[in-house]
Structure 1
Amino acid sequence: MAKIDNAALKKGGFMAQKQKGLYSLRLHITAGHLTSRQLIGISKVADTFGHGYVHLTSRQAIEIPFIKVEDADAVKAMLAEYGVEPGCCGARVRTVTGCQGSAVCPSGNIDSYRVATMLDERYFGRDLPGKFKFGVTGCQNNCLKAEENDFGIKGGRKVQWKPDACIHCGICSKVCKSQAITDDGEKIVVDYAKCVSCGKCSQKCPVDSWDYQTVYNLTFGGLFGNHITKGRKILPPVESDEQLLAVADATVQWYDDHAIASDRFKFCLDREGWESFVPVVRKAYDEAAPEGCPKADSVEVEPPTPTAQQ
C-alpha cells in the first residue's frame, strides 16, 4: 500500500482526523458566501462520502468530516459539479472572511463580499512561510473583528459637511460615538483627529448634508490563539482598490521575504522590527495614492497592545 502524503492532502484541504485513514475536508468559501446549489452539492457529498453532517468553522468555512482517503478524487469531482472547490490549510493564504457589508447591512460602508473576492482571487492559496489571514468587515461595528487578522480591512467613510443642505437637526452629532462632531446651530465642525470614519453622520442624515468617499481602514499583525494580539493601525484610510492592493502586495511580500518556517506575521514583525515593515507599506500607500490623499506618515503607528496568553 502506497504511503499517504498527509502534507499534500492538507495543502488541498484534507485534514487528517484522529481516526486513521479518515479526513475532514475544508472547502474554499469566500466571505461565508454560498449559493443554494452549492449547499445542495455539499449536502450530497456529506451524505454519500461522510457521516451526513458538516462542520461550520470559526472562519466561515465548511468542513466535511469522515472522508476516506481513497474517495478523495470522487469527492472533488462531485463537489465540482456544484461549483464547490476544496480549500487549503497549512502555510499559505487562508480563506478570506467577510461580513455581508453594504449589499445587505444598513451600517455597511463597503461591499465586503466584493472586496473579499478581490483579495481571494489575488492571494488565496499562495504558499508562504506560515498561515496568513485576511478579514474584511463593513463598518465600525466590526462584526468580523478585523484586528484579529494578519491584515484587517474595515470599511469607512471620509466625510465632508455640506452647509447649504444642513437643517441643523442635531442627528449627526448625536450618533457620532467618537464625539468628533459639534453643531452650534450655524456651523458643524468635524474634529478629524477624533473621527473614526464610521460613516454614521452621513448614513443617518435626513437631508443628505454630507458628502463622503468610501475608504478602507487597515490594521496589521493581529493574531488570535495562544498569543492574542490586536492588529495595529499604521496608515491613513486607503481611498481606492488600487491603493488597497498595493499595500496588500507589499505586506504579503515583506512577510514572504522576512519570515521563517511556521512564523506568523505578528512574530515576524516582532523579530524583524516594525521599523523594517512600516516604511515598505507606507511607500506602497503613497505611490498608489489618489490625488489629494494624505501622506502615509500623517498617521502615527499605534503602540502595541499587551499580549494575552490563553
Structure 2
Amino acid sequence: MAKVDYSTLKKGGFMRQKQKNNFSLRIQVVGGHLTAENLKAIAEAAEKYGDGHVHLTSRQSVEIPFIKLDDVEAVQADLAEGGCRPGICGPRVRTITACQGDQVCPSGNVDTYDIAVKLNEKYFGRELPHKFKFGVTGCQNNCLKAEENDVGIKGALHVEWIPEKCIFCGVCEKVCREKAITIKDKIVAVDYDKCNDCGRCAKSCPTDAWDTKPGYIISFGGLFGNHISKGFSPLPLVTSEEQLFRVTDAAIGFFDEHGKSGERFKFTIDRIGEEEFIKKMEEAYYG
C-alpha cells in the first residue's frame, strides 16, 4: 500500500480527522462570498462523499467532513464543476475574510469584497514561516474584527466640513461617538485627533455638507489563538489601493525575510523590534 502524503493533502485543504482515513475538506471562500451554484455543489458533495452535513468555520470557510481517502480526487473534480476550489492549511497565506462592505451595508466605507479578491489573487497560498491571515472590515463597527488578523484592513472615511451646504442642524455632533465634532457660532469644528474616520457624521447629514474620501486603517500582528494580541496601527490613514498594496507587500516581505519556521507574524515583529518594522512599513507607505 502506497504511503499517504498527509502534508500534500493538508496543503490542498484536506485535514485529517480523528477517524482513520477520514478527512475534512476545507473549501476556499473569498470574502465570505459563495454563489448558489457553489452551494449546490457543496451540498451534493457532502451528500455523496461525506455524511450529509457541512461545517461553517470561524473564518468564513465551509468544510465537508468525513471524506474518505479513496474519494479525494473524485470530490475535488465534482466541486470544481460547481466552481469551488479547495482551501488551504499549513504555513501559508490563508483565504481572505471580509464583511459585506459598502456594496450592501449602509455603514460600509469601502468595497471589502473587491479588496479581498485582490488580496487573494496576490497572496493566497504563498509559502511563509507560519500561517498568515488577512481580514477586511468595512467600517469602525469592525464586524470582521480586523485587529485579530496578522494584517487587518478597516474601511475609513476622512471627512471635511463644507460650510456653504450646512444648515447647522446639529445631527453630526449628536451622532459622533468620539465627541470629535463641536458646533459653535455657526462653525462646525472637527478635532482630528479624536476623529476615528468612521464617517457617521457624513452618512447622517441631511444636506451632504461633508466632503468625504475613503481610506484604509491597517493593523499588524493580530493574534487570537493560544496567545491573544490585538494588532497595532502605526501608520496614518492609507488613501489609495496602490498605497494599500505597497504596505501589504512590505508586511508579507518582512515576515518572509525575518520570520522563523513556526513563528507567527506578531512574534517576528517582537523579536526584530517594532521600531524596525514600523520603519519598513513607513517606507512602503510613503513610497
Alpha-carbon separation, structure 2, partners of 1:204 and 1:93: 38
Aligned twin of 2:182 = 182
Mapped contact 1:87–1:95 kept (Cα < 8 A): yes
1:226 partner letter: N
SS in 2 for 1:94: coil
> Secondary structure of the residue that 1:10 maps to in structure 2?
helix
- Aligned 8 A contact 1:154 1:218 in 2: yes
Runs of 4+ in 1 over 3 A off after TM superposition: none
Three-state SS of the structure 2 residue aligned to 1:26 is: strand
Task: Give a deviation string over 1:250-289, Cα, whole Å, max 9, x none.
Answer: 00000000011111001111111112211111000001xx
Partner of 2:134: 134
Residue aligning to 1:218: 218
| TM norm structure 2 | 0.99
Please tell me whether the aligned partners of residues 179 and 194 of structure 1 are also in contact (alpha carbons under 8 angstroms).
Answer: yes
Matched-pair identity in %: 57
Equivalence map 1:16-31=2 (5 Å): 16-31=16-31
Is the CA contact (8 Å cut-off) linking 1:151 and 1:218 kept in structure 2?
yes
Partner SS state of residue 30, structure 2: coil
In 2, the alpha carbon distance for the partners of 1:243 and 1:142 equals: 22
Q: Give the SS at the match of 1:262.
A: coil
- Structure 1: how far apart are the matches of 2:73 and 2:106? 43
1:112 CA drift (Å): 0.9
Q: Write out aligned runs for 1:232-243 (5 A).
A: 232-243=232-243
Q: Distance in 1 between matches of 2:183 and 2:196?
A: 18
Residue of structure 2 in register with 1:307 after alignment: none
Tell me how far 1:185 sits from its aligned partner. Answer: 4.4
User: Could you say what secondary structure the match of 2:224 adopts?
Assistant: coil
Partner of 1:171: 171
Separation (CA, whole Å) in 1 of partners of 2:173 and 2:121: 40
CA contact (8 A) 1:27 1:63 kept: yes
Query: Counterparts of 1:165 and 1:93 in 2: how far apart (Å)?
Result: 46
SS of match in other structure, 1:147: helix
2:165 is paired with a residue whose SS is coil
Does 1:42 find its partner at 2:52?
no
Aligned mates of 1:214, 1:164 — CA distance in 2: 22
Q: Partners of 1:274 and 1:92 in 2: how far apart? A: 23
CA distance in 1, matches of 2:184, 2:47: 65
CA distance in 1 between counterparts of 2:118 and 2:273 reads: 29
Q: Corresponding residue for 1:230?
A: 230
Superposed CA offset, 1:79-101 (max 9, x none): 01110000000000001110001
CA distance in 1, matches of 2:216, 2:113: 14
User: How large is the Cα RMSD of the aligned pairs?
Assistant: 0.6
| Aligned residue number for residue 292 of structure 1 | none
Deviation digits for residues 122-176 of structure 1, max 9, x if unmatched?
Answer: 1111010100000000000000000000000010101110000000000001111
Q: Distance in 1 between matches of 2:252 and 2:127?
A: 11
* 2:154 alignment counterpart: 154
Instruction: List runs of 5+ in structure 2 lacking aligned partners.
Output: none
Length, aligned pairs only: 287
Match of 2:72 in 1: 72
| Equivalent residue runs for 1:200-211 within 5 Å | 200-211=200-211
